[in-house]
């Protein structure tokens, strides 16, 4: 098993009355793209800021690269690159100057720095904009500049806090691909998001957090195996009588079936012919139906099953 890079144990953080982090436990290993997934306000940013020793915390232990993280752990900080939720660049410096400025806080040697800045510019595809001021950049380009400022010094551990918020799909894909490339080049990534699709797409391991608690941790497949649900069948039906619904519910692998607004939603656990069995009952009772979908569980199902609520709140923003 590879080395542990970040270890968060029993982390508790309170803002006055509100407990933002409630005994959070996370371990991140070298080479992972680790996803921190949770709805808005679940404590992702708070966890990151505690990890970075920017916020103080009430209880717990945080180790990075095997050493206790403190505000003056400069050797640890040297190895970390952070891309915060809010864009942090100086307005009156050009793209190049901004990257050079932030890179210079880590890399003293001028020649090496110049090369690093150049690489960061190329990596984020900002070649054509090096002389631009941030105000002249579009939202997506600005995010890319923000990322370039955070990674130019080639950190071993890169932390990204919702880097794709308010970014158009094209820029978003570019960012996601970039993150994977950074990972291939050897960096360990911590990625927070409330977009499940993104997390599913790029993360090798995922922690789902809700109300400051870590409710599940593992790879996508591990997480999906944790839950009862293995298949969700959705069928468009105009009218359905309660007898038919009762018959479907009594099928062996079906543990829940709900009919509302022209949709019959059936949750199954195990079994291989669930869809065929359901359709057979509909045929038998002479129910006509429209489109039929069968879906494997998503992270949303994982979240839904563990917390009893939907995570899809700000989808597609």
Partner 1 sequence: MFLHNLKYEFLNNIRQKDVIFWVMCFPIILGTFFYIGFGKLYEKEEIFSEIHIAVTFVKEDDIFSSVIGKMEAADESPFEFRYADTDEAEEMLEKGDVSGIITVDDEISLTVMSSGMEQSVIKSFLDQYKSQKQIISDISANDPSKYTEAINALYAEIDAIENNSLTDGNMNYYDTYFMNLITMAALFGMVTGVFSATNNQGNLSAIGARKCLSPNNRFITMTSSLTAAFITQLCSVIIATTFVLFVLKIDMGGNIPMIYLSGAIGAFAGISIGFFIGSAGRMSVAVKDAIATSISMFCCFLSGLMVGNMKPLIEEKCPVINRINPAALISDLFYCLTIYDNYARYLEKAVTLLIISAIFITGGFLLTRRKTYENL
Ligand X SMILES: Nc1ncnc2c1ncn2[C@@H]1O[C@H](COP(=O)(O)OP(=O)(O)OP(=O)(O)O)[C@@H](O)[C@H]1O
Residue 23 to residue 275: CA distance in whole angstroms: 42
Q: Which of 5, 46, 107, 153 binds ligand X (CB under 6 A)?
A: 46
Q: Please identify, using beta-carbon distances, which residue of 69 and 208 lies nearer to partner 1.
A: 69
Residue 312 to residue 239: CA distance in whole angstroms: 28
Which residues between 44 and 103 bind Mg ion (CB under 5 A)? 44-45
Kindly state whether residue 42 participates in binding Mg ion, applying the rule CB under 5 A: no
**Cα→Cα distances 80→6, 51, 137, 150, 248, Å:** 11, 11, 26, 9, 54
Residue 301 to residue 127: CA distance in whole angstroms: 42
Kindly state whether residue 293 participates in binding ligand X, applying the rule CB under 6 A: no
Q: Please identify, using beta-carbon distances, which residue of 54 and 272 lies nearer to ligand X.
A: 54
How many C-beta atoms surround the C-beta of residue 304 within 10 A? 18
Q: Please identify, using beta-carbon distances, which residue of 120 and 158 lies nearer to Mg ion.
A: 158
Q: Please identify, using beta-carbon distances, which residue of 41 and 125 lies nearer to ligand X.
A: 41
Cβ neighbours for 172, distance < 8 A, ≥ 6 positions apart? 164, 198
With CB cut-offs between 5 and 8 Å by kind, which of Mg ion, ligand X, partner 1, none does residue 38 bind? ligand X
Kindly state whether residue 58 participates in binding ligand X, applying the rule CB under 6 A: no
Question: What residues make contact with partner 1 under the rule CB under 8 A?
Answer: 15, 49, 52-56, 70-72, 74-75, 77-78, 80, 82, 84, 86-93, 97, 100-102, 104-106, 108, 149-150
CB 299 within 8 A of CB 206: yes
Q: Is 23 exposed, middle or buried (0-12, 13-18, 19+ CB in 10 A)?
A: middle
**Nearest of 7, 90, 9, 11 to residue 55 by alpha carbon:** 11
- Around 243, how many Cα atoms within 13 Å sit in the side-chain half-sphere? 6
Torsion angle defined by CA atoms of residues 49, 50, 55 and 61, in that order, rounded to the nearest 10 degrees: -170
Q: Which of 6, 8, 11, 20 binds ligand X (CB under 6 A)?
A: 20
Structure tokens at 179: 């993150």
The minimum distance between CB 25 and Mg ion, in angstroms, equals 19
Measured at CB, which residue is nearest to Mg ion?
Answer: 45
Which residues between 82 and 121 bind ligand X (CB under 6 A)? 85
Torsion angle defined by CA atoms of residues 140, 141, 144 and 150, in that order, rounded to the nearest 10 degrees: -120
Which residues between 150 and 169 bind ligand X (CB under 6 A)? 162
| Binding piece for Mg ion, criterion CB under 5 A, among 42-50, 128-136, 172-180, 242-250 | 42-50
| Binding piece for ligand X, criterion CB under 6 A, among 14-22, 75-83, 168-176, 277-285 | 14-22
Residue 46 to residue 270: CA distance in whole angstroms: 38
With CB cut-offs between 5 and 8 Å by kind, which of partner 1, ligand X, Mg ion, none does residue 314 bind? none
CB 245 within 8 A of CB 299: no
Kindly state whether residue 43 participates in binding ligand X, applying the rule CB under 6 A: yes
Cβ neighbours for 69, distance < 8 A, ≥ 6 positions apart? 51, 52, 53, 62, 63, 76
Which residues between 189 and 218 bind ligand X (CB under 6 A)? 194
* Count, residues near ligand X per rule CB under 6 A: 14
The minimum distance between CB 159 and Mg ion, in angstroms, equals 12
Q: Please identify, using beta-carbon distances, which residue of 42 and 164 lies nearer to ligand X.
A: 42
| Binding piece for ligand X, criterion CB under 6 A, among 13-21, 58-66, 111-119, 246-254 | 13-21
Kindly state whether residue 44 participates in binding ligand X, applying the rule CB under 6 A: yes
Residues that bind ligand X (CB under 6 A): 15, 18, 20, 38, 40-46, 85, 162, 194
């Amino acid at each position: 098993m590879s080395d542990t890079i970040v270890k968060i144990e029993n982390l508790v953080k309170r803002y006055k009355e509100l407990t933002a982090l409630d005994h959070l436990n996370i371990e991140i290993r070298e080479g992972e793209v680790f996803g921190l997934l949770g709805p808005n306000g679940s404590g992702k940013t708070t966890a990151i800021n505690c990890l970075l020793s920017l916020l103080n915390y009430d209880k717990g232990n945080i180790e990075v690269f095997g050493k206790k993280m403190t505000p003056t752990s400069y050797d640890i900080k040297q190895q970390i690159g952070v891309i915060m939720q809010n864009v942090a660049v100086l307005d009156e410096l050009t793209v190049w100057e901004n990257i050079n400025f932030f890179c210079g806080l880590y890399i003293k040697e001028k020649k090496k720095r110049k090369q690093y800045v150049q690489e960061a510019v190329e990596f984020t595809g900002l070649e054509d904009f090096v002389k631009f001021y941030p105000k002249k950049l579009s939202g997506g380009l600005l995010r890319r500049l923000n990322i370039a400022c955070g990674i130019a010094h080639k950190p071993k551990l890169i932390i990204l806090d919702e880097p794709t918020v308010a970014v158009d799909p094209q820029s978003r894909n570019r960012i996601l691909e970039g993150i994977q490339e950074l990972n291939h080049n050897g960096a360990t990534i911590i990625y927070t998001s409330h977009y499940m699709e993104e997390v599913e797409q790029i993360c090798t391991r995922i922690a789902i957090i809700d109300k400051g608690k870590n409710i599940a941790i593992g790879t996508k497949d591990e997480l999906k195996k944790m839950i009862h649900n293995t298949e969700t069948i959705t069928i468009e039906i105009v009218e359905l009588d309660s007898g038919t619904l009762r018959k479907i519910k009594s099928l062996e692998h079906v543990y829940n079936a709900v009919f509302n607004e022209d949709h019959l939603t059936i949750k199954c656990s195990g079994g291989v012919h669930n869809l065929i069995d359901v359709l057979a009952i509909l045929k038998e009772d002479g129910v006509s139906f429209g489109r039929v979908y069968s879906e494997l569980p998503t992270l949303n199902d994982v979240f839904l099953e563990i917390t009893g609520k939907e995570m899809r709140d700000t989808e597609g923003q």
